[in-house]
Structure 1
Amino acid sequence: MAWIFLVIGGLMEVGWALGLKYSDGFSNPIISILTVAGIGISFFFFGKAIKYLPVGTAYAIFTGLGAAGTTIVGMVYLNETVNLFKVFFVVLLIFSIVGLKLTSNQSEA
């Protein structure tokens, strides 16, 4: 269950990162409230995950999911630049996340 919490937290990080973009420097109240709620939810799930997982591995996966997810959303939906190097490094990041998961020997409670 800890890994599911970690993935939910990482995906919520994508949501609040996008919320920061659309909050216009926190001048849009509705988006700002949703963004702050997303931050809270994201860290809630991260906190639940590190109760059972090594903090270094969990943090690397948490931030990696957020970074990769935000980059992919930006390229696919926000017309951000796409080039071979960017795609290569996002794929490398995803493989690194999977590698960390596979090499983690921490058992869940």
Structure 2
Amino acid sequence: MAWVYLIIGGMAEVVWAFGLKFSNGFTNIPVVIPTVITLIFSFWMFSKSLKYLPISTAYAVFTGIGSFGTALFGMLFLGDAVNLIKIILLVVLISCIIGLKLVPDKTKKGEKI
């Protein structure tokens, strides 16, 4: 369940990042209010995941999901630049996130890192 919390929190990070873009420096109150609510929800979900996951993995995945999702939606819907290098780097980023999920959270007793 911790991974579900983490993924939902990361996806909510994408939403509040776009809210910040459209808040016009926190002057557009109808956008600011749901943005702040989504920001709080995002960190709440992240904090729930930290009860079960190591912070090193959880934070990297949380911010990675937010970075990947924000970049992807920016390119698809906001006219952000799209080029081969950016696509390759996003694929590397998501590959690293998946890799962190696949690494065991704990080492066996007596095993050296």
Alignment TM-score, normalising by the size of structure 1: 0.95
**Contiguous gaps of at least 5 residues in structure 1:** none
Q: Distance in 2 between matches of 1:35 and 1:104?
A: 34
Number of residues of Structure 1 aligned to a counterpart in Structure 2: 106
Deviation at 1:30, TM superposition (A): 1.1
For the pair 1:52 / 2:52, whether they are aligned, the reply is yes
Aligned-residue RMSD, C-alpha = 0.7
Confirm or deny: 8 A CA contact 1:57 1:104 kept in the other structure: no
> 1:104: Cα distance to partner?
3.1
* Distance in 2 between residues matched to 1:18 and 1:40, nearest whole Å: 15
Q: Aligned letter for 1:13?
A: E
Aligned to 2:4: 4
Q: In the aligned structure 1, how far is the partner of 2:61 from the partner of 2:42?
A: 13
1:19-34 superposed matches below 5 A:
19-34=19-34
Once residues 30 and 56 of structure 1 are traced to their aligned partners in structure 2, the CA distance between those partners, rounded to angstroms, is 35
TM-score by length of 2: 0.92
Counterpart AA for 2:74: G
Q: Provide, for residues 9-40 of structure 1, a one-character-per-residue CA deviation record: whole Å limited to 9, x for no partner.
A: 00000000000000000100010011111110
Identity %: 51
- 8 Å Cα contact 1:11-1:65 kept in structure 2: yes
* Structure index of larger Rg: 2
Please name the residue that 2:109 is paired with: none
SS in 1 for 2:80: coil
Contact 2:53 2:105 in 1 (8 A): no
User: Match of 2:111?
Assistant: none
Q: CA deviation at 1:105?
A: 2.7
Q: Which runs of 5+ in 2 are unaligned?
A: 107-113
Alignment of 1:91 with 2:91, yes or no, is yes
Q: Where do 4+ consecutive residues of structure 1 move more than 6 Å? A: none
